[in-house]
Structure 1
Amino acid sequence: MAIPYVRQLDFAYGRCDQVSPLIRRVICNNPGPFTYLGTGTYIVGRGEVAVIDPGPDDPAHLQAILGALEGERVSAIVITHHHSDHSPLAGPLKAATGAPILGCAVARHEADDSGVRMEAGHDLAFKPDVSLCGGGEVKGPGWTLEAIPTPGHTSNHLCYALPEENACFTGDHIMGWSTTVITPPDGDMSDYLESLRRIRARGFATLWPTHGPPVRDVEAFIDAYLEHRQERIDQILGALKAGPATIAELTPRLYADVDPKLWPAASRSMLAAMIHLVREGLLEADRDVGPNATYRLA
């Protein structure tokens, strides 16, 4: 099943667009391989509002958000996770509005020493005023945001349901334009697959990712996301039927149709899958599970 990506979006940087009765969006001018068109900051409600994922520490984007909020009160600054294209502007926005920052702090920062850059980077200073790691709600006039723990992309990732529109703000957990990066040690494939099923079971009508357009055909999209992950897992298991191998040996075989420049990133994704498969009892490793281990069918 091919993933039915959605990539077309009518927008202008810094412009505030009303995208649903309760939701406005301002897109930061930070396009790139990890951010697609840029970070989409969402404003929920009217008069008293919540701001979701204010984005990178970009003064122009801060001014665009404040311009969109003129005459309104921000009661909550809500963060999906601590990557540097999502959370750093929370501090300056708090200073400008007095609103508390809500989200989930990382239990501990674990460095990825692979040298492979697969994300925009971590906001190591991120620390919410109010913790939603176990879930919770924040409310305003006519709107409710419910925090849904969705670890996987990062250990502290949260999605936020908006029940008044049967919608969900998905951060980087589900993106319409691309698959989601899962890279150890902070990313975890087992957690990610469980979190995908958790969101699918909610029956949302619309998903609002931080990057790119909304996803409207939600169940089919998540099913395709899950199938894509399963296909990659099946490829690994199939390849190891020929005998034990390392990730470095498997990557050129399984990604032969991919630009070799992308093989280091592919190997990090494969490591996430290997950790999951060892945990599930389907693979064994000759040493601690990691990039240099030799893997074989259990």
Structure 2
Amino acid sequence: MSMPFAKTDALPAAAVEELGRPSGPRIRRIRAGNAGPFTFMGTNSYVLGEGTVTLIDPGPEDPAHLAALLAALGGERVERILVTHTHRDHTGGLSALQAATGAATLGFGPHQTPPGPGAEGADHDFQPQHRLADGATVAGEGWRLTALHTPGHCANHLCFALEDHGILFGGDHAMSCSTSVVIPPDGDMADYMAALARVAAREWSMLLPGHGAPLAEPGALLHALLAHRREREQLVLVALGQHGPAPLEVLVPAVYGPIDPRLVRAAGHSLLAHLRKLAAEGAAAEQAGLWRGR
């Protein structure tokens, strides 16, 4: 299906984009220069408020990005650093930023699964000073954020809803530029689809994603992302009927068709997540690395 993605991002790395005014609190976006097949043009960091501020996602370990964040702050006090999830392109810069600001760190919790297969990019060192459960709130002058536990892409993923303004800080759960990769065992497709349905059920005026440009009125995209996952699941069932029992290497091209070679591994991860969901529902089974429908 055609997806209403925003495939461009005009903000240069290290530049500052002003968002959120005049009716709401000041919001600034600073993009890191870590462009790649899984990070699009780079990871977004957001500064919320003015004077005493909250920062969402410090981004990768990168002196240039740290310098850009500190320059954007211009002497303001960082009261807290919120972390959407424990992938290093979002948390790698945390230690240096915390050392420079003394800010407290907040997140859902440490990475939920141990090192091992499927743990690429995970930050197992992250330990928030304050844990945010689903529904927890963080407030500043003229604004209030609600933490939404949205597992799937990462088991400890949080989105942040800017209450009274309809703005969603989507992290990697909902991005304006692409779908999210779901990598088992930490990633879980059933969790992802349930959390996406929860977010899509609300009306939002703006999506501020972990990667990609801000997107106004993101409802159509959120519903399209959910429909895309449901359609993909049906393609998986068809492929199992036509090719099963079969390994992932056979099922990936059958389900995804021709794709960028750099994305084949990611497609395999998400396909495995779909297969595990279907197996839990009794619609698929695996034996010795071969998958079949049931």
Query: Please, what TM-score do these two structures have when normalized by structure 2?
Result: 0.91
How far has the Cα of 1:112 moved from its partner?
4.3
Give 1:263 deviation, angstroms. Answer: 3.5
Q: Which residue of 2 aligns with 1:55?
A: 59
Matched, 1:105 2:105: no
1:91 aligns with 2:88: no
Alpha-carbon shift at residue 262 of structure 1 (Å): 4.2
Q: Which ranges of 4 or more aligned residues in structure 1 deviate by more than 6 Å?
A: none
Q: What residue number does 1:18 align with?
A: 18
Establish whether residue 4 from structure 1 lines up as the match of residue 8 from structure 2: no
Supply the AA of the counterpart residue of 1:8: T
In the alignment, the residues of structure 2 paired with residue 27 and residue 267 of structure 1 have an alpha-carbon distance, to the nearest angstrom, of 28
- What displacement does 1:3 show? 0.8
Aligned twin of 1:295: 292
1:117-136 matches, within 5 Å, as: 121-136=121-136
2:71 counterpart of 1:67? yes
What CA distance in whole angstroms lies between the structure 1 residues aligned with 2:283 and 2:130? 40
Q: Which runs of 5+ in 1 are unaligned?
A: none
Counterpart of 2:257 in structure 1 is: 256
Shift, 1:285, TM fit: 3.1
User: CA separation of 1:200/1:108 partners in 2, compared to 1, >3 Å: closer, same or farther?
Assistant: closer
- 2:284 match: 283
Q: Is the 8 A contact 1:106 1:155 kept in 2?
A: no
User: Which SS does the other structure have where 2:90 is aligned?
Assistant: coil
SS in 2 for 1:133: coil
Identity of aligned residues (%): 42
SS in 2 for 1:198: helix
Task: Say if 1:98 and 1:260 are closer, same or farther in 2 by CA, change over 3 A.
Answer: closer
> Which of these residues, 26, 30, 34, is aligned with residue 38 of structure 2?
34
Give the equivalent residue in structure 1 for 2:175: 175
Structure 1 Cα separation of the partners of residues 63 and 261 of structure 2? 37
Which residue does the alignment assign to 2:208?
208
- Report SS of the residue matched to 1:144: strand
Question: What is the alpha-carbon root mean square deviation over aligned residues?
Answer: 2.0
In structure 1, C-alpha distance between the alignment counterparts of 2:212 and 2:264, rounded to whole Å: 25
The amino acid that maps onto 1:147 is: A
Alpha-carbon distance between aligned partners in 2 of 1:77 and 1:262, rounded to the nearest angstrom: 31
CA distance in 1, matches of 2:200, 2:213: 18
1:193-214: CA deviations, max 9, x gaps? 0110111122111110011112
- 1:195 paired to 2:231: no
Q: Tell which deviates more after alignment, 90-99 or 244-253.
A: 244-253
Distance 2:171 2:70 in 1: 21
- C-alpha contact (below 8 Å) 2:61/2:92 kept by paired residues: yes
Q: Distance in 2 between matches of 1:191 and 1:84?
A: 21
Count of residues in correspondence between the two structures: 289
Name the residue aligned to 1:236: 236
Matched-pair contact (CA < 8 Å) for 1:110–1:185:
no
Report if the CA contact (8 A) 2:80-2:105 is conserved.
yes
In structure 1, C-alpha distance between the alignment counterparts of 2:52 and 2:68, rounded to whole Å: 18
**SS where residue 216 of structure 2 aligns?**
coil
- 3-state SS in 2 of match to 1:165: coil
Q: Distance in 2 between matches of 1:263 and 1:12?
A: 28
Secondary structure of the 2:194 match is helix
**Cα deviation digits, residues 244-265 of structure 1 (max 9, x gap):** 3223332232233235664343
Q: What's the offset of the Cα at 1:223?
A: 1.3
Q: 1:260 to 1:68 in 2, by over 3 A?
A: closer
Q: CA deviation at 1:25?
A: 0.9
Is the CA contact (8 Å cut-off) linking 1:25 and 1:40 kept in structure 2?
Answer: yes
Q: CA deviation at 1:66?
A: 1.2
1:145-164 pair list within 5 angstroms: 145-164=145-164
Checking the alignment, whether the CA contact within 8 Å between 2:34 and 2:43 is kept in structure 1 is yes
Q: Which runs of 5+ in 2 are unaligned?
A: none
Shift of 1:12: 2.2
CA contact (8 A) 2:184 2:272 kept: yes
* CA distance in 2: counterparts of 1:179 and 1:188, whole angstroms: 14
